[in-house]
Amino acid sequence: MRILWVTGSLPYPPATGGKIRVWNLLQQVTQFHDVTLLSLLDSPDEIQFLPRLRPYCTIHTVVKQRQRPRGKLFFRLLLTMLKGQPPRNCIAYYDGLKDKIYELTSRQSFDIVHVEQSQIAPYIEFVSSATKPARLITLYDVGAAQHERIIRIQTGLASARVLTWLDWFFLRHWESTYLARRFDRCIVVSSVDQALLSQANPQLKLVVVPNGVDTVQYQRLPRLEDSKEILFIGKMNYPPNVDGVLFFYHEIFPLVRRRVPEARMLIVGAEPSAEVQRLRNDPTVRMIGQVEDVVPYYQRAYLSAVTLRAGGGTRLKILEAMALGRPVVSTTLGCEGLEVSPGENILAADTPQGLAAHIIRLFNDKGAYDRLVVNGRRLVESRYDWRVTAQSLLQVYDIVGAAEKRVQK
């Protein structure tokens, strides 16, 4: 089939969860279908990465307009909300992408148009009426639930908090109703998200295509007997990550260090917020910015901590840690949506005392450590390898593609 895949960012280099997902699924899907990828670029510098994508697909790009007139942006923001849409749709709107979608669908016949993320969803309206492809959208999280959680923990600028509240207010109704009207299938990453959206609108046609990990590239690392580093990975200006790191540092880390004085925090992630940056002053904390390869940091760490109290979707960093042979200690929200078994392949708790006890145990109980490592690796190989996940997506393509052809006949 001929598929037009529309993404809000270039999936290479695969440095964030969404990019990792598209990059890995793209490599699998293009073995069976003809894919045209249309992506927004953050800057013209990203053109250098296009040769990495060309062996898999035809690639078209639109560079984001970085300096948009404030008056025009404010007017569009008001218009977006008058339409009942969340403000983030306005921020993700670019005339160039709208025009390119219309141009491509006017001159080519696609069987499927596949859009990534709900803020890109309104672009589906610019698919040429000359063709009637099947329409798919992938959601990495349920926006209303994600924003409701962020509201509870978000600090910082009042303007940012207001925007989060406005997004939540509009997403509660717009997300589920708009997707049901405009898309033939809505792809989510977990059964938890499927249940949330189904409750919001039973008319939605939902299917689960989980996140994954490359278990060939990410081989199990040997345990470092002498390491006392606890690893945190994630974009460090994302409010749930900021809150999770500060929650660990202020409430959990002191409890760990009472029993394991040599314990250290290793924070890896781009764009650390001011609150996270201040942790640099503590000699027990080492902070690394954006990295091209996370493996060396897993290699030096003893375990991975995912102490999130907000957010949505599922965490690829948990799957990466399991693939690389590092046990994970998480909050229940942190591992939400993944088919994990606490005590068997992950340790989970929600209180500082419970989380600290799990970490201390792993430092002292090598048998428990090794059981988590073996079981975690077994889980990702059987359930979350990208090759397994891609089969679910390919089945969705087959179903909607065949249905669309029947309608056209």
Distance CA 96, CA 88 (A): 17
Q: Which residues pair with 216 in a beta bridge?
A: none
- Residues 378 and 16: beta-carbon distance below 8 Å: no
Position 404 pLDDT exceeds 70: no
User: Residue 147 — φ and ψ, nearest 5°?
Assistant: -70, -35
- Residues 18 and 117: beta-carbon distance below 8 Å: yes
- Residues 135 and 26: beta-carbon distance below 8 Å: no
Over residues 45-97, the pLDDT tens digits come to 999 999 999 999 999 999 997 777 778 888 889 999 999 999 999 989 999 99
DSSP string computed for 182-224: H-SEEEESSHHHHHHHHHH-TT--EEE----B-TTTSPPPPP-
Mean pLDDT, residues 215-226? 93
Position 406 pLDDT exceeds 80: no
Mean pLDDT, residues 356-379? 97
Over residues 238-293, the pLDDT tens digits come to 999 999 999 999 999 999 999 999 999 999 999 999 999 999 999 999 999 889 89
